[in-house]
Amino acid sequence: MDQFPLVYRCAVIVKPKQPLLDWLNKIELSVHTSLEELQKDCHVYLVPDYEEVDVIETAIEKYLKLNYSDIFINELTAWYTDERKFPKFSYILFLEWFDISMNTMIFDTVDMPIEKDEE
């Protein structure tokens, strides 16, 4: 049996929580969605591979603490683009608004190069 090649990245899955929906409803009265709908197709972020670190989860958390604001902005702009109405970012608020899960083994099941949108 052929093995799928390992992608040398870890993945972070960012799942919206109730405070994000509350914020959307506060700033955009026409939002008619449920928390279940927000959580249906969550975003996945590839982060560095920490294969040589003793505790991978700690390394990923450290990475998130340094980069959470970009992820936060990306998540909010997926739903609302007026950055003037964004909350003041903090790592604590990020964790209040999103459930974070980590995956350390990423396999590529497609026999083609990964394409990136280089905007």
Four-point Cα dihedral 44, 50, 53, 55, nearest 10: 10
Output the pLDDT for position 27. 87
- Indicate whether 118 belongs to any domain: no
Output the pLDDT for position 84. 93
State the amino acid at position 12 in one-letter form: V
The residue ranges of the chain whose pLDDT is under 50 are 1
- Indicate whether 57 belongs to any domain: yes
Question: Taking a C-beta distance cutoff of 8 angstroms, is the pair 12, 45 a contact?
Answer: yes
Question: Taking a C-beta distance cutoff of 8 angstroms, is the pair 108, 9 a contact?
Answer: no
- Give every CB contact of residue 42 below 8 A, 6+ residues apart in sequence: 13, 14, 15, 16
- Indicate whether 56 belongs to any domain: yes
- Indicate whether 38 belongs to any domain: yes
**Considering its fold, how many domains does the chain have in total?**
1
Whole-model pTM: value is 0.88
- Indicate whether 113 belongs to any domain: no
- Its domain, for residue 55, covers 6-107
- Indicate whether 86 belongs to any domain: yes
Q: Which long-range contacts (CB under 8 A, 24 or more apart) does 57-64 make?
A: 57/102, 60/10, 60/12, 60/102, 60/104, 64/12, 64/91, 64/94, 64/100
Question: What is the longest distance spanned by two Cα atoms in the chain?
Answer: 53
